[in-house]
Amino acid sequence: MPAETRSRRSDALRNRDRLLATAADLFAERGLEVPLDEIARSAGVSIGTLYNHFPTRDALYAAIIPARLDALDRIVADALDVEDPWEGFVAYLEGLFGLMARDRSLNDAIAQRRPAGDEVAEACARSVDAVLELIARAKAGGGLREDFAPMDLAMLAAAVSQVIHESGDWRRFLTLHLTGLRAPTDTTKGSLPPLGGKDPSNRVCLRRPGPSRRPRSR
């Protein structure tokens, strides 16, 4: 006889889906601390059902994360596809922080470095390799300073996460961080990208400073 002849009940599947959808929304909007009671209520289900499907908050979050991780993988892949090493590095940062800005739970998850579940840890490890590659390439041919360490990226992520949290203009902040606060000196005149405070089409400036600017396409 087959291993399992009895299939999952339809209402259980429906409830599970509802819970996941609701939790994803609430986590993205308000962070990881949303009361579980509220998630259950919003999903039109009792708290007991929530616990029935997901014994812990982490289990619930672990069931939501994969989609975000896929997005992250895509961002990393895209960044690696960018020809110019510096632009690729910046594209990664922009993608990652954009994701964090759209989903507060990512923000929280990073801040409290508690990788809810092995799957997350694994996916992080997966992307770490790619990120190291991005960094190496940016150092070799993109003008990233040689003493830049992975720790600096972690600090930057933490920093930007807080800027996002306080509804700051994180793109502006990132641009500042990438280029520094100093005005152009006589020798580097004109090398600073604009900050674009209120610009609705807010993009981090990808261009390298200095005279050697060549347009790039992807």
Partner DNA sequence: TTTGAACTTGAGGGAACCCTCAATTTATTG
Partner DNA sequence: CAATAAATTGAGGGTTCCCTCAAGTTCAAA
CA distance 105 to 71: 14
Interface contacts to DNA, rule CB under 7 A: 5-12, 15, 35-38, 45-49, 51-53, 55-57
- Which entry of a second copy, DNA, none binds 207, CB below 5 to 8 A by partner kind? none
Q: How many other β-carbons are positioned within 10 Å of the β-carbon of residue 116?
A: 21
Residue 204: DSSP 8-state = -
> Whose Cβ is closer to DNA: residue 47's or residue 157's?
47
- Which entry of DNA, a second copy, none binds 8, CB below 5 to 8 A by partner kind? DNA
Residue 192, φ and ψ in degrees, nearest 5: -80, 135
Residues 120-159: x where in contact with a second copy by CB under 8 A, - otherwise, as a string: -------------------x---xxxxxxx-xx-xxx-xx
Give yes or no for residue 207 binding a second copy (CB under 8 A). Answer: no
Give yes or no for residue 76 binding a second copy (CB under 8 A). Answer: no
**Nearest CA among 69, 34, 86 for reference residue 209:** 86
Rounded least distance, CB 28 to DNA, Å? 17
**Nearest CA among 100, 197, 94, 128 for reference residue 86:** 94
